[in-house]
A and B are shown apart, each in its own frame.
Chain A
Amino acid sequence: MIAAHRLPRSGSITAAGALAAGFVVLALVGPLVAPHDPLAVDLAHRFEAPNLVHLLGTDHLGRDILSRLIAGARTTLGSVLVVLALVLALGLSVGGLSGMVGGRLDAVLMRLCDVFLTVPTFVLALFMIGALGTGLLNVVVAIVLSHWAWYARIVRGLVLELKTRDYVLAARIAGAPPRAIFGEHVLPGVVPPLAALATLDIGHMALHVAGLSFLGLGVQPPTPEWGVMINDARAFFWTRPLLVVWPGLAIALAVLAFNRLGDALRDRLDPTLIAGRGL
């Protein structure tokens, strides 16, 4: 066998991985490491420039910006992870069922997907919020509803492709029932490219959460959230631009880190495992 040639492991992938891991850790242990209470209003110390007590300064209500950013990581990334879990669960079950069973069920499920795919995320979110009211939960539901169909379609495509493999035929000959064929032969081929895709989407979904919150439709003040923080800071943009810069930077870094990581994962997993060469 010819040794697989490895893509050079560039420094940016390591940096992106470290950064993404850092964000996830912050989301998990945030309140433990935050230097101050992110909700503590201190009107005596409004608009402080970065200093030793408040490393990134304070906002218009004197709240510690660093602590709010750390707490915001949990709100933003946490909701993104919930969204991803739901989207993956829905996508895998609907796409898997569609691809494995085929026939009329496939046709019905895919038309259903098409319906959801025609509605843009923001429009669906506005509709949901108009009907159910503002709040993080509704934002999560709106993003899930507008994204799961993508995943279902991709899973179905992968399943259909993997189903034509000779080793799936061999598994049928070996008496494997459809459930075993899906679990042992098809699913392991679906997961790696899907994981790469999901990682790529983390940044994208974080933008949705922050964007909807910025518009005042999602997370409500005073809950610390990056989009909300930008919205709060908007009024002081000309006098205190740093207040917009910090949460903006956090969003940009998170999006970049997860995108780069997703790209790297896709580069490593896609060509080898999708084409079945590898190993």
Chain B
Amino acid sequence: MSARVLRAEGLSVETWRGREPVPLVRDVGLELRTGEVLALVGASGSGKSLACAALLDLLPPGTRRTGGQIVLDGTETEPAGLRGRAVASVLQAPRTAFNPLRTIGDHAAETPGKPGRAAMAEAFAAVGLGDDPRVPELYPFQMSGGMLQRAMIALALLSRAPFLIADEPTTDLDLVAQRRILDLLAGLVRARGLGLLVVTHDLGVVARLADRVAVIEAGRIVETGPVASLFADPRQPATRALLAAHRALHEIPVEVVA
């Protein structure tokens, strides 16, 4: 099966102060292929989440898309038509993404395509929630942050979309839960040939997961390339600054005296 390609070209987003437009995302282009992981990296406020929201047609109120197109396998497509069909999404705060009054099973039954019991069981098993038969009957408040993020990934899988967009999927989780979610995502990309776009500020996440990286600064993509060359030979000041801070915090090897 040949790789499917999702491409965003010239995405621009702006807000406005009074009547003055303020650009937030400028001419962002991204190319995502099935079977690979693309990381969109930037510091807080760089516009990475907005670029991703523009791709999904989920821009917050007070912002608007002023340009750009989405091309799926060479055909220009409306972003709204992609969501849930070609592109599934996993958002940063899983607790706010679920209706607190409905069970996880209710949420699963509502995904496009009306999945049957077997499909639901399969999706929950794929995200590591299959061992406990009570999971579909649980309400969001009865689950930990890590479980909720797994459930959200299961819902994304149910849509059978070839592409998955994950916006800071582990920000609200502790490191142990984060590690497990990243392992899960990596496994799903390998097993199902998903194309994954992961938005993050953490170069550790990039190092763990990504094949290619796009660095965003002040709403613009400043550098794109394979993950190894970006770590080995960063070209742009923004990339260097992110890497320097990352190394300052984490480069010291973890010595363990058992």
- Interface set of A (CB-CB < 8 Å, partner B): 2-5
Q: Does B74 contact A (CB under 8 A)?
A: no
- Interface set of B (CB-CB < 8 Å, partner A): 15-18, 22, 60-63
A4 to B62, CA, bound (A): 6
What chain A residues lie within 8 Å of B22 (beta carbons)?
3
A-B contact pairs, 14 of them (CB 8 A): A2-B15, A2-B60, A2-B61, A2-B62, A2-B63, A3-B15, A3-B16, A3-B17, A3-B18, A3-B22, A3-B62, A4-B62, A5-B61, A5-B62
Give the secondary structure class of A's interface: loop
> In angstroms, how far is the closest chain A Cβ from the Cβ of B25?
12
What chain B residues lie within 8 Å of A2 (beta carbons)?
15, 60-63
What chain B residues lie within 8 Å of A4 (beta carbons)?
62
A2 to B18, CA, bound (A): 11
What chain B residues lie within 8 Å of A3 (beta carbons)?
15-18, 22, 62
> In angstroms, how far is the closest chain A Cβ from the Cβ of B99?
18
Please give me the residue from chain A that is nearest to B61 by CB atom: A5
A2 to B63, CA, bound (A): 7
A4 to B63, CA, bound (A): 9
> In angstroms, how far is the closest chain B Cβ from the Cβ of A218?
45
A3 to B13, CA, bound (A): 13
11 other A-B residue contacts (CB within 8 Å) besides A2-B15, A2-B60, A2-B61: A2-B62, A2-B63, A3-B15, A3-B16, A3-B17, A3-B18, A3-B22, A3-B62, A4-B62, A5-B61, A5-B62
A212 to B163, CA, bound (A): 67
Please give me the residue from chain B that is nearest to A2 by CB atom: B62
A267 to B41, CA, bound (A): 38
What chain A residues lie within 8 Å of B63 (beta carbons)?
2
> In angstroms, how far is the closest chain A Cβ from the Cβ of B45?
10
> In angstroms, how far is the closest chain B Cβ from the Cβ of A3?
5
What chain B residues lie within 8 Å of A5 (beta carbons)?
61-62
A3 to B22, CA, bound (A): 10
A4 to B17, CA, bound (A): 9
What chain A residues lie within 8 Å of B15 (beta carbons)?
2-3
A232 to B61, CA, bound (A): 54
